[in-house]
Amino acid sequence: MSQFDYDLFVIGAGSGGVRAARMSASMGARVAVAEARYLGGTCVNVGCVPKKLFSYAAHFTENFHDAASFGWDVSHGPIDWPRLRDNKTREIERLNGIYGNILKNANVDLINGHAHFVDEHTVDVNGKHYRAERILIAVGGWPYIPDVPGKEHAISSNELFYLDELPEHATVVGGGYIATEFAGILNGLGVKVTQIYRRSLFLRGFDEEIRGHLAEEMRLRGIELRFNENVTAIEKTADGLQLQLESGGVLNTGAVLYATGRQPLLEGLGLENTRVALNEQGFIAVSDTFQTAAPSIYALGDVIGGMELTPVALAEGMNLARRLYGGIDQAMDYEYIPTAIFCQPNIGTVGYSEEQAREKFGDISVFTSQFKHLKHTLTENPSKVFLKLIVDKASDRVVGVHMLGDDAGELIQGFAVAIKAGATKAVFDATIGIHPTVAEEFVTMREASR
């Protein structure tokens, strides 16, 4: 009889943990997963899914506005926030149930409770010890709010999903994709929004031109963007909050949302009882086979840093299961991972930004196009779509596709397949467009614009 209760014990039933647990079990491993909070993890409960639902809700404002030019007289009052929030919560609860069934049907034992390491083969949950040949850490991350005086008055994305009521004015602090998405969502839901970011332009790491155009589009929609600015203190006032600003002024607001990064959720995990080591950024250090410094312990998903996206955590979970129990030893490929920002309008992107491509490939061609969406030609909506292709001149390979415009995420997913397959500019040029669409522009960009 085995000295272990399980072949694999997974800590965290989020994107990466559930995928690794379920796939490992399907390959014959005896698997348990411990979950302290909610089935499905961040993505399902306080991340991608509820955020996208809110983003859909926020888009209606623009559609209501444009409808008149198409002959529809639509009148609408302010959003019924409790209805949206509670409908969202009901859907999340349904998904929680689905995740429970997925684990049950895969013969994975679900253990509700906070897990911590006793030693490198033993985990404690609710005072009970479980021994496993291998243990996977898939505990994800948690919002980080810097130590600003009055930070107890700030909220993170976690709380935003459950607000009692929407404020008249909200301040979003941060310049990453979560901050930028929430600025757009709140604005679309009828809240006056100021976004504050300490650097000169948000969305560092994305293509600079796209970032610049997004800033214009957000301002057009009434969002106040304050770059090179920061909050130095938060004070409660009779009718809300007052923010002290680094530039010297004050800003009165109803709520302040900090989206200033996320940290791995390691508190109380008992890593001190193992040899698991952290990297310089504080994430769990792993080899390219997701093994930590303790040979029986693995880690993946947000807790190891990197791109911190659900499909990446899923792919890592799949990769590990196949490696450990399927006999497939294949390195994870992190190149050309597409991603979207569900800001307003959306950004969709795959491959290198112009800045990154210049550094990596040297000689590149850049093709851009900016135009009014056909849908907006009847309306007074001044919004413009912006598209960008980046080509490595030496190989003719398209190494970057970027879009700012409605449904950019949907559209870029398709191009990501072509880019992953190594499509060249000649292949793009030989592809017939679908008319009239926004996407056809990507296959008709003939002249390098610079």
The catalytic residues are 435
Query: What is the distance between the alpha carbons of residues 298 and 312, in angstroms, rounded to a whole number?
Result: 16
The yes or no reply on residue 191 touching ligand FAD (CB under 6 A) is: no
Q: Please identify, among the stretches 224-232, 299-307, 395-403, 427-435, the one whose residues bind ligand FAD according to the rule CB under 6 A.
A: 299-307
Phi, then psi, of 306 in degrees rounded to 5:
85, -140
Phi, then psi, of 304 in degrees rounded to 5:
-105, 5
Among 308, 392, 406, 441, binds ligand FAD (CB under 6 A): 308
Place of tokens 């693995």: 298
The yes or no reply on residue 284 touching ligand FAD (CB under 6 A) is: no
The yes or no reply on residue 269 touching ligand FAD (CB under 6 A) is: yes
- Residue number, 306 or 370, with CB nearest to ligand FAD: 306
Rounded to a whole number of angstroms, the minimum distance from the CB of residue 330 to ligand FAD is 20
Query: What is the distance between the alpha carbons of residues 21 and 19, in angstroms, rounded to a whole number?
Result: 6
- Residue number, 9 or 428, with CB nearest to ligand FAD: 9
- Residue number, 311 or 414, with CB nearest to ligand FAD: 311
Q: Is 382 exposed, middle or buried (0-12, 13-18, 19+ CB in 10 A)?
A: exposed
Nearest partner of 124 among 134, 110, 138, 114, judged by Cα: 114
- Residue number, 250 or 277, with CB nearest to ligand FAD: 277
Alpha helices in 153-264 (DSSP H): 157-160, 177-188, 208-220
The yes or no reply on residue 157 touching ligand FAD (CB under 6 A) is: yes
Residues whose CB falls within 8 Å of the CB of residue 101, separated by 6 or more in sequence, listed in order: none
Q: Please identify, among the stretches 63-71, 136-144, 198-206, 426-434, the one whose residues bind ligand FAD according to the rule CB under 6 A.
A: 136-144
Among 21, 139, 185, 445, binds ligand FAD (CB under 6 A): 139
Residues whose CB falls within 8 Å of the CB of residue 87, separated by 6 or more in sequence, listed in order: none
Q: Please identify, among the stretches 126-134, 163-171, 206-214, 303-311, the one whose residues bind ligand FAD according to the rule CB under 6 A.
A: 303-311
The yes or no reply on residue 55 touching ligand FAD (CB under 6 A) is: no
Name the DSSP letter for residue 5. S
The yes or no reply on residue 31 touching ligand FAD (CB under 6 A) is: no
Q: Is 381 exposed, middle or buried (0-12, 13-18, 19+ CB in 10 A)?
A: middle
Q: Which helix (H) or strand (E) holds 89?
A: helix 81-105
The yes or no reply on residue 175 touching ligand FAD (CB under 6 A) is: no
- Residue number, 138 or 231, with CB nearest to ligand FAD: 138
CA dihedral angle for residue 180, residue 183, residue 185, residue 190, rounded to 10 degrees? -160
The yes or no reply on residue 311 touching ligand FAD (CB under 6 A) is: yes
The yes or no reply on residue 172 touching ligand FAD (CB under 6 A) is: no
Phi, then psi, of 109 in degrees rounded to 5:
-80, 125
Among 32, 108, 115, 170, binds ligand FAD (CB under 6 A): 115
Name the DSSP letter for residue 289. T
> Are 100 and 110 spatial neighbours (Cβ–Cβ below 8 Å)?
yes
Compose the 238-267 pattern: x for residues touching ligand FAD by CB under 6 A, - for all others.
Answer: ---------------------------x--
The yes or no reply on residue 17 touching ligand FAD (CB under 6 A) is: yes
The yes or no reply on residue 62 touching ligand FAD (CB under 6 A) is: no
Rounded to a whole number of angstroms, the minimum distance from the CB of residue 43 to ligand FAD is 4
Query: What is the distance between the alpha carbons of residues 444 and 450, in angstroms, rounded to a whole number?
Result: 16
The yes or no reply on residue 51 touching ligand FAD (CB under 6 A) is: yes
Put the strands of the sheet holding 398-404 in their side by side order: 339-341, 347-351, 398-404, 385-392, 364-371
Q: Please identify, among the stretches 56-64, 218-226, 250-258, 307-315, the one whose residues bind ligand FAD according to the rule CB under 6 A.
A: 307-315
Among 10, 14, 79, 229, binds ligand FAD (CB under 6 A): 14
The yes or no reply on residue 348 touching ligand FAD (CB under 6 A) is: no
The yes or no reply on residue 42 touching ligand FAD (CB under 6 A) is: yes
Neighbours of 153 (CB within 10 A): 16
Name the closest residue to ligand FAD (Cβ).
Answer: 14
Query: What is the distance between the alpha carbons of residues 123 and 270, in angstroms, rounded to a whole number?
Result: 9
Rounded to a whole number of angstroms, the minimum distance from the CB of residue 97 to ligand FAD is 15
The yes or no reply on residue 301 touching ligand FAD (CB under 6 A) is: yes
Site residues, ligand FAD (CB under 6 A): 11-17, 34-38, 41-43, 46-48, 51, 114-115, 138-140, 157, 178, 265, 269, 301-303, 308-311, 313
